[in-house]
Chains A and B, each alone.
Chain A
Amino acid sequence: MIFSGEFLIFMLLALIAVMGGVLMINLTKVVHMVVALVFTFVSIAGIFVLLSAEFIAAVQILIYSGAVTIIMLFGIMLTRHNDESEPKTGRLRKILLFLGVLGFGVVFYIGVYNVDFPQAANTLHENNTEQIGIALYSKYIIPFELTSVILLVALIGAIVLAKRDDQEEADKE
């Protein structure tokens, strides 16, 4: 029962996801960290497939492994990095933060480790995309339209923030 195929796949994907995260913390070069995170994002997409959310999995691959990673790589390329510049100082701060995060994790693990709901039958796996579309365009139509406003604001805001201000540059020189 416990060693079903689904459980094995879950363990494999979870292992890859956690390993990508740990590598992200421990690697020294910035580009390597981003590549390690891609493994995490792809295996999270696999987790979504296990949870019968195929559309979310496709969106995860498109947005996270595609768009966000490329945007971060461009951010790395456009700025100059002195690689491997983790300072030797601040070790005490790091240890204290680790203990704090560990405490946070333990507290929430105590909260979730024996959560169990009675399993109810669901039809999420059949015509998943169609169900999401129907929900988006009937029940969640106003948040859906507001999302387009958010994306527009983010687009214009990003352009305005990142635009080189020639007037100001000239004043400075």
Chain B
Amino acid sequence: MSTVPISAYLTLALVLFCIGLFGALTKRNTVIVLISIELMLNAVNINLVAFSKLGMAPSIDGQVFALFAIAVAAAEAAVGLAILIALYRNRKSVNIDEFNTLKN
């Protein structure tokens, strides 16, 4: 059986999630913000797969959920990038703090 405890996997996922959260909140470049969100989704996938093997009732369902999460994340990346290109065409910039039309 596995010699790595489940808490190790959960801690790794937590660290990656925190890095992604920090990047998504501090970076000004919109592409990097999108990539940080992908990193957070990936950390969640680690949790799903870890529980599917080392959880209370091991079964394949966690891996199927991770597959669905990957599919949705890929769709989100494509739509996010299309929005970014549409914004770039209007504002000639990718800095996230210049997209503040809703503020005024």
Contact = CB atoms under 8 A, between A and B. Distances in A.
Interface of A: 1-2, 4, 6-7, 10, 14, 17-18, 21-22, 24-25, 30, 33-34, 37, 40-41, 44, 47-48, 50-53, 55-56, 59-60, 63-64, 67-68, 71-72, 74-76, 78-81, 85-87, 93-94, 97-98, 101-102, 104-105, 108-109, 112-122, 124, 128, 131-132, 135-136, 139-140, 143, 147, 150-151, 153-155, 157-159, 161-162, 164
Interface in B63-86: 63-64, 66-68, 70-79, 81-86
Interface of B: 1-12, 14-16, 18-23, 25-26, 28-29, 31-32, 34-36, 38-39, 42, 45-46, 49-50, 52-61, 63-64, 66-68, 70-79, 81-86, 88-89, 92, 94-95
B71 to A, nearest CB: 5
Interface of B is mostly: helix
Contacts of A151: 71, 74-75
4 A-B pairs with least C-beta separation: A154-B75, A122-B58, A21-B19, A161-B82
B16 to A, nearest CB: 6
Interface of A is mostly: helix
Given A76-B31, A112-B10, A117-B6, 14 more contacts: A10-B8, A24-B23, A24-B35, A33-B35, A37-B35, A47-B12, A51-B52, A74-B81, A87-B28, A101-B25, A114-B7, A115-B10, A118-B56, A131-B60
A44 B61 CA distance: 19
A131 B53 CA distance: 13
Contacts of A154: 74-76, 78-79
B72 A56 contact: no
Contacts of A124: 52-53, 58, 60, 63
Contacts, number: 227
A67 to B, nearest CB: 6
